[in-house]
Structure 1
Amino acid sequence: MWMTWGRAVRLLRGQRQLWRSLCLDRGDTSPGKPPWKVLFFGSDQFAVESLKVLSTSRKCDDSVVQCLEVVTLPGDVPVKRFALQDSLPLHPWPPDISPGQFDVGVVVSFGCLLPPKIINKFPFGILNVHPSLLPRWRGPAPIFHTVLQGDQLTGVTVMQIRPHRFDVGPILSQESYQIQTQVTADELGDILAVKGAQMLLDTLKNLCEKLRNKKEQSTTGATFAPKISTSLSWLVWEEQTTLQIDCLSRAIGSRIPLRTLWMGRTLKLLDYVGKCHSVVPDGSATLVPGSVFYLRESNILSVRCKDGWVGFRSVLLKKRLTAADFYNGYLHQNLKSCSGPSAHAVFVSGRTGQANHNNHLHKANLPTT
């Protein structure tokens, strides 16, 4: 049966609208394939890796990116430095852009919640590169919490941003990564930054297909990764195990030194060496958590925690001191003033330290080492 001209036009329009609905969340007049006009939102070093990959893509024969501009935060942040170095146009936050000026937005470690009025200006929405296997570790510090909790598996998720809440949008791409033993948060961040940048590029190459096949996040298994605060660095010797202190050091130690109290003063513990074995003579189990000894042969301070001993090569009091300097200048002097051969020093946990800072020397049925 022959169709009327009007019916044919309506059918064609319906087919075009169906294609758009499969590729997009809303109607659009964009061509629906690369190269894209991209507006990048980012701030820190993790974001720079994705920005580098997008910038390089502009210069390739099979370019995924036609136009690349950058939104970043005030101050001398890594993304701004790279954008200036690579001559990428910069926009202040919040950006003053027109609907359809860019095809798609990309957010990587930006730190600000994008309102609907910005999201709706991008025909293909806004993508986010997030360094965790969402819904685990939603929030601003997923890498730190991954290491802090001793996770053995992590990964990267490329998702589509939704308004009003962080990290809840549908997943376009997700890949796992087996965490290596003793990796630090900084090292893991470098690995996931490279992985995330390549996943982002692949997602943009196949954006319409990825959007058609996107899936909602699981309603179970969600955890939150808040910003790391300095309060987390206080050690609680009687509660934390050697494994927990090890994870804490690898998670935050390069940025926030671990801390304890000694004679009522804050002591920063530096150059963590891990779990110590056979640090004192037999009977060490009777020593209270926080007990500290100087081990001359290895030149470390060994401190008792809940289930064992951990070591540090240096401390920061008024200035940075090696373990030997701290022992000779402080620990040894105080031990000489305390009667009894079994006296030894005790570091006090931050949580209880203000009430008990005078208990910095303790007598036990052990000789000093």
Structure 2
Amino acid sequence: MKPLWRQRPPSRYLLSFHGPPCYARWSSNNTRYPLRILFCGSDDFSITSLKALHKELVERPDTIASIDVVCRPGKRTGRGFKNVREVPIKAVAKDLAIPVHEIDTFTGWSPPLRDSAAINLIIAVSFGLFVPSRLLNAAEYGGLNVHPSLLPDLRGPAPLHHTLLAGRSKAGITLQTLHPTSFDHGIILAQTPYPGFDIPEPKTCTVQKLQSLVAPKAAEMLVQGLRDRVFIPPLTDVGWWSNARLRGRNPELKYAPKITPMDRHADWFSFTANEILRRQRVLGPLWNMATGPDSRKRVIMTLSRHPVIDNAPIRKVGLPFLWSSGSMERPFLLVRTKDLLLLRIAGMTVEGERNADAVEAATRANLLREAGGESVTFHEVLM
């Protein structure tokens, strides 16, 4: 079934007869207002947009008549899976007296009626589930999505992480339609002007700090888009990528896939010292596999910079070694990176053990051995 705005319009809509072919041209005075919104969200980023929409509902009921929230069910966690971790947006929606619907799939589910009228706009912000075309077609105005990047750059579920992992100094927001078959491929209805806004202190910025910067901007763009009725056809793509002049001087577009445990792997041969530390800042402590005399164990490390030591032994990249620059100084663990700089392994958690100072943790886990009488090294570190 075609979306409503692609079908031939019923007689209640105004038509334009300025030459063939004859298509619907929705009047700017369209009275099918206010909006009955189905909001699909999950985390703090989406919560900021939900609060902005609720404020709009309270202050401008002529714009928004109702909001329903859809979120994923809570997940059981902890020992024996006895505890339930609820999706953060659920508590916020209840505090705002907004109806909440917990679903793990849209199969067989339909939005509720509000005042005997159907939901007419679906908004998904940091949701995770794909909104099926069945629901988009049923909603009079289709669907909208807010994405924290300058699409089509950083298309994917983790744009904030990959913005920082790439060492970028600018970020952006995009308001787009929900595409019926693909994530982040909708028509761009509003967007931060290219090349984006500055990230304060990009060399020290964390995902949480970046999110606190972009979330209010995203909520503001969403609300302004509703006021401007950018979702009413004819829809115009206003994205920077549609501008050939800008597209021609843009660097390679990046994809922003979901962050996985492998992204936290300390790959000493692929990353420089700065890249390793940036990855730790963005993703948290990194890990490697260490092999002792009897077993292989995962080690989670906290890393910090260390100055170049002229008389430190030359160990191969990625093999941590124990070092002390003086007889009175307590030894510590160092490791060389791809660019042959040294990083200190300050803290370490060995699989099955508690977190401790790196030397203490490695000793307790029997990961150290004598090496030619000069120092002590790991038995082996597997990349």
TM over 0.5: yes
Alpha-carbon shift at residue 51 of structure 1 (Å): 0.8
Distance 1:339 1:61, change over 3 A: closer
SS state at 1:58 partner: helix
Match in the other structure for 1:4 = none
Alpha-carbon shift at residue 168 of structure 1 (Å): 0.6
Report if aligned partners of 1:235, 1:349 keep a CA contact under 8 Å in 2: no
Alpha-carbon shift at residue 142 of structure 1 (Å): 1.4
Match in the other structure for 1:154 = 171
Distance 1:51 1:183, change over 3 A: same
Report if aligned partners of 2:14, 2:24 keep a CA contact under 8 Å in 1: no
Q: How does 1:1-369 map to 2 (within 5 A)?
A: 13-15=14-16, 21=25, 31=31, 35-60=34-59, 64-75=63-74, 76-93=86-103, 94=106, 95-97=109-111, 101-175=118-192, 176-179=196-199, 180-208=202-230, 212=234, 214-215=236-237, 218=241, 222-253=253-284, 257-262=285-290, 263=292, 264-270=296-302, 272-273=303-304, 275-278=305-308, 280-282=309-311, 287-293=316-322, 301-307=333-339, 308-317=341-350, 318-323=353-358, 325-326=360-361, 329=364, 334=368, 338=370, 340-346=372-378, 349-351=381-383
User: Mind listing any 5+ residue stretches in structure 2 that lack a counterpart?
Assistant: 1-10, 75-85
Deviations for 1:219-258, whole angstroms, at most 9, x for unmatched residues? 87543222111122221223321122123212211xxx31
Report if aligned partners of 1:23, 1:211 keep a CA contact under 8 Å in 2: no
User: Mind listing any 5+ residue stretches in structure 1 that lack a counterpart?
Assistant: 1-9, 352-369
Percent same amino acid among aligned pairs? Answer: 26
- Distance (whole Å) between structure 1 residues aligned to residue 331 and residue 379 of structure 2: 18
- Distance (whole Å) between structure 1 residues aligned to residue 306 and residue 160 of structure 2: 27
SS state at 2:236 partner: coil
Alignment TM-score, normalising by the size of structure 1:
0.76
- Distance (whole Å) between structure 2 residues aligned to residue 328 and residue 299 of structure 1: 12
Alpha-carbon shift at residue 339 of structure 1 (Å): 5.5
Distance 1:54 1:298, change over 3 A: farther
- Distance (whole Å) between structure 1 residues aligned to residue 89 and residue 143 of structure 2: 18
Alpha-carbon shift at residue 181 of structure 1 (Å): 2.1
Alpha-carbon shift at residue 91 of structure 1 (Å): 2.5
Deviations for 1:35-61, whole angstroms, at most 9, x for unmatched residues? 422110112222111111111222225
Deviations for 1:36-95, whole angstroms, at most 9, x for unmatched residues? 221101122221111111112222257642211111111110111211222211234324
Aligned length: 328
Bigger Cα displacement from structure 2, 241-250 vs 47-56: 241-250
- Distance (whole Å) between structure 1 residues aligned to residue 203 and residue 368 of structure 2: 39
Alignment TM-score, normalising by the size of structure 2:
0.74
SS state at 2:59 partner: coil
- Distance (whole Å) between structure 2 residues aligned to residue 210 and residue 284 of structure 1: 68
- Distance (whole Å) between structure 2 residues aligned to residue 56 and residue 194 of structure 1: 13
- Distance (whole Å) between structure 1 residues aligned to residue 368 and residue 378 of structure 2: 11
Alpha-carbon shift at residue 325 of structure 1 (Å): 3.5
Q: What one-letter code is carried by the residue in structure 1 that aligns with 2:344? A: G
SS state at 1:243 partner: helix
Distance 1:96 1:298, change over 3 A: farther
- Distance (whole Å) between structure 1 residues aligned to residue 301 and residue 277 of structure 2: 13
Report if aligned partners of 1:125, 1:161 keep a CA contact under 8 Å in 2: yes
- Distance (whole Å) between structure 1 residues aligned to residue 381 and residue 63 of structure 2: 54
Alpha-carbon shift at residue 309 of structure 1 (Å): 2.0
Distance 1:284 1:193, change over 3 A: farther
